[in-house]
Structure 1
Amino acid sequence: MSVDAANYARLREITDRLPQIPGTGRVEIAHGKIVITMPPVRRHELAVIRIGRQLNEQLAATHPGFVAHPGADLEDVGLGRLRCPDLMVFPESVLEEDAAVYPADVLLAVEVVSKSNPENDYDEKVRDYAAMGIPLYLLVDPRDGTGIVHSQPRYARREGFAFGDTVRVGAWRIDTGGLLTYGA
C-alpha cells in the first residue's frame, strides 16, 4: 500500500520537526502513520556492531567504496515509507548528501528483531524492503538465536540459519557465532 504524495509530505514534515525525546528510539513512516520505536537493548546493538564489522571487512574486496552503516534513514517517497534499518550496505558517498538514503543505493538491509515489536521486522519490513527493490534483507532474531536471509526476486528465496552458523548473504559471509540471544 502506498501513501499519496501530499499525505506523505505532511507526515515527513512532522517527523522532521519532532524533538529528540529521551528514551525513544527511531522515527519511521509506514502505512500512512508515524511510528516511534523503542530504543534497542544492548545485545541488539552488539549484534549490529558485530555484523557491521564483518561486512565492512569484506566490502573493500567485494564492493569498494561501499560501507555497512547503522542509523541512516531509508526513504522511498513513491511508496510513502521512511524506515531506519539497523544496518545498510550502500556507497559511502551517499553520506555526503544531506538527505535520506534511497533504496536504489542499498544492496542489503539488516534488521535485528526487537523484543517489543517482532512482527514489524518479520512482516512489514519484509514487504516494504521487497517493494523498495532492496536485493537482500538479513533478519537476525536474538529472541531465539535464529535468522533468515531474504533474497530477490521480492524475497521469494528465504534461507534460515541458527546462531553459530556462517551464512552467505549475497557476496558476503557472516559468522553468527558471536551473536548473543536476549536470554543468554
Structure 2
Amino acid sequence: MPSAHPAPAAAATADPTPRRPPSMNVTILAPGHRRRGASAMTTAPDDARRGASHLYRAMRDVVRSMDDTLPGKFEVTKEGIVHDMMSPGGPHEVTAARVSRRLEKVMPDELLAHNGTPDVEDVPEGIMRHPDVVVIAWSDLDVEGSVDPRTVVAAIEIVSRSNPENDWVGKMRDYPLLGIPVYAIFDPRTGSGAVFTDIHSTPDGPRYAVRKDFVYGEDVTIGEWTISTSGLPRYQDDGAEEGGSREA
C-alpha cells in the first residue's frame, strides 16, 4: 500500500532521485526577473502588477507563435519561458495514455482524463502550464482558449528524461498556486511517483501539505479514484524503452 506522510513545504519540492540526467531545458528569464539574493529597486505594487501582466501576455504570444515551428513543449512561469527542447516520446506517451485510460474506466461519465490541448492558464498569476493529463469535467473543457485551473480536478505529469526539474520543482510550485487540488507525478526514470494534496499556506506561498509515494506495481489513488500502475514502461539508460505489458 502507498505510504502517507506529511510533506514539509521545502521537502515537497525535492526530486527524491539521487542522480539526474543533464537537463535539456531552457528557461528564458523574464526581463526584470531576478534570482534570490539579487538587489532590485522598489516599485509601486500597482505598477509592478501592470508591468507583469503586460510581460506575461507578451511571453504567452511568443510561446504560441513558436509552438508550431519549434520542437518540444513551451510553458510560461513567473521566471520566464520554459522550453523542453526534446519532444517526449516512447515511455512518456505510453504512460500518459495508460494512466488516462485507467482513470476513465473508474471515473464517472461526466469527467475525463484528458491528455491533449489546451493549456491551463492563470493570467493574473502569469502562469501557463500544459499538464500531460488533466482530470476535468467535459463542460469545463468545452471552452474557447485555455482552461481555467480552478476547474481542474487533478493534474498529472509524466517526468521527461530531459527536464525532470520542471515536474518535480517548477510545477510543484505552480500547481498549488493555481489552486489545482491534486498533483500526481509518474517518473519513468525510477519506476516510482508521488501524489500531492491538501494545499496550505506557507511563507513561500501555497504548497501541498501531504505527499503519498508509490512504486510501479502498486495501486495509486488520484483524487477519488484508484488505478493500477502495473505494466507502466520505464526509461532505459541507452534511451530504449523498457518493456511493459500491452494491457491498458
Aligned partner of 2:68 in structure 1 is 20
> 2:73 corresponds to which letter in structure 1?
R
Check if 1:156 corresponds to 2:204. Answer: no
Which deviations, in whole Å up to 9, do the C-alpha atoms of 1:74-125 show, x marking residues without a partner?
1011211111110001111233322111111101000010101111110110
Partners of 1:71 and 1:7 lie apart in 2 by: 26
Of 96, 106, 114, 1:58 maps to: 106
Question: TM-score, normalization: structure 2?
Answer: 0.69
> 1:59 corresponds to which letter in structure 2?
M
SS in 2 for 1:41: coil
Partners of 1:138 and 1:80 lie apart in 2 by: 22
Partners of 1:19 and 1:85 lie apart in 2 by: 15
Check if 1:129 corresponds to 2:168. Answer: no
Root mean square deviation, CA, Å: 1.7
Partners of 1:119 and 1:18 lie apart in 2 by: 22
> 1:178 corresponds to which letter in structure 2?
G
Which deviations, in whole Å up to 9, do the C-alpha atoms of 1:131-173 show, x marking residues without a partner?
1110100000000100001011231100111000001112011
Any residues of structure 2 matched to 1:3-82 within 5 Å, and which? 4-18=52-66, 20-21=68-69, 24-37=71-84, 38-60=86-108, 64-72=109-117, 73-82=119-128
Structure 2 unaligned runs (5+)? 1-32, 34-48, 200-206, 237-241, 243-248
Whether the aligned pair in 1 keeps the contact of 2:102 and 2:227 (CA below 8 Å) is yes
More helix by share: 1
> 2:107 corresponds to which letter in structure 1?
L
Q: What is the count of residue pairs matched by the alignment? A: 180
Identical amino acids, percent of aligned pairs: 38
Question: TM-score, normalization: structure 1?
Answer: 0.91
Whether the aligned pair in 2 keeps the contact of 1:89 and 1:109 (CA below 8 Å) is yes
SS in 2 for 1:27: strand
Deviation, structure 1 residue 16: 2.3
Whether the aligned pair in 2 keeps the contact of 1:52 and 1:87 (CA below 8 Å) is yes
Whether the aligned pair in 2 keeps the contact of 1:7 and 1:32 (CA below 8 Å) is no
Partners of 2:142 and 2:194 lie apart in 1 by: 32
> 1:156 corresponds to which letter in structure 2?
A
Bigger relative contact order (CA 8 A; separation at least 6): 2
Q: Which has the larger radius of gyration?
A: 2
Deviation, structure 1 residue 20: 1.0
Structure 1 unaligned runs (5+)? none
Aligned partner of 2:221 in structure 1 is 168
Of 173, 178, 189, 1:143 maps to: 189
Which deviations, in whole Å up to 9, do the C-alpha atoms of 1:46-77 show, x marking residues without a partner?
000000001111222xxx41111012211011
Higher alpha-carbon deviation: 7-16 or 130-139: 7-16
Higher alpha-carbon deviation: 140-149 or 166-175: 166-175
Whether the aligned pair in 2 keeps the contact of 1:32 and 1:80 (CA below 8 Å) is no
Any residues of structure 2 matched to 1:92-103 within 5 Å, and which? 92-103=138-149
| Change in 2 beyond 3 A, CA 1:109/1:48 | same
